[in-house]
Amino acid sequence: MLEAWIAGLVVGYLIGSVPNGLWVGRLVAKTDLRAEGSGKIGTTNAYRKLGLRWALIIFSLDVGKGVLPVAILMLAFDSPTGEVLAALATLIGHIYPLFAGFRGGRAAATGWGAILILTPFAALVAIAVAAALLGITRIMSLTVLLGMTVSAVAQGLLIAYGGEPDAYYGFVVASWLIVLLAHRDNIVRLAAGTERVLGRPAADATPAAAHNDDPAAS
């Protein structure tokens, strides 16, 4: 139904455009995360600049951004495609936020929030794998990329054996591609063995090095 598709795109993009990291950074530290570290407004840059407590708050808010638009569509319409469009629009809004000069994050936390409400099993499997990987490697970008890959595989199994709507798998694959593209610089550094590890100081922490620093997920 066209109304659900349009509503999903509009609601998803507007909610996705809410720059939680930017606003929290300004509120608690009078800083613009876009001018710090990786230049991103997601969890990892917030952790490095604001500390663990505020990073976890931003992570929770960004996950909530992924959940909320889909929940609204579920309540207002009966349209799996509309729900998927809302989720995808939320990711785009997080990466290119209307309310933050189109400079946002990498959409990992928001993507996991959307997957969590669309297909909880796939999300929980991915989160469990990601948590183990983060504990072992302490490389956030690798954790995110492999976690999203696991969620795509888990969702494929649900489609094949669990009767989940095909549109949901379309979202998982599309969100994986979006997050993959958002992490293309990280992939280059992973291949070169130069990706930063959480807790390890950067070789050059000046804002001028922002886009060459490790921008981890979110």
Q: What is the pLDDT of residue 67?
A: 97
Q: What is the pLDDT of residue 209?
A: 42
The verdict on pTM exceeding 0.85 is: no
| Coil, helix or strand at residue 204 | coil
Q: Report the sign of the C-alpha dihedral through residues 35, 39, 43, 45, in that order.
A: negative
Beta strands in the chain (DSSP E): none
Q: What is the pLDDT of residue 174?
A: 86
Name the nearest CA neighbour of 111 among 74, 151, 153. Answer: 151
Burial of 97 (0-12, 13-18, 19+ CB in 10 A): buried
For 36, 99, 176, 185, the CA distances from 30, given in Å and listed in that order, are 12, 18, 33, 28
What does the alpha-carbon distance between residue 82 and residue 42 come to, in Å, rounded to a whole number? 26
Q: What is the pLDDT of residue 106?
A: 87
Q: What is the pLDDT of residue 29?
A: 93
Q: What is the pLDDT along the chain (218 residues), one digit of tens a residue?
A: 899 999 999 999 999 999 999 999 999 999 999 998 888 898 888 988 899 999 999 999 999 999 999 999 999 999 999 999 999 999 999 999 999 999 998 888 898 899 889 888 878 888 888 889 888 988 888 888 888 888 778 777 777 776 777 788 788 788 888 888 888 888 898 888 888 887 665 544 334 343 444 434 45
Q: What is the pLDDT of residue 92?
A: 95
Q: What is the pLDDT of residue 211?
A: 43
Q: Report the sign of the C-alpha dihedral through residues 60, 68, 19, 215, in that order.
A: positive
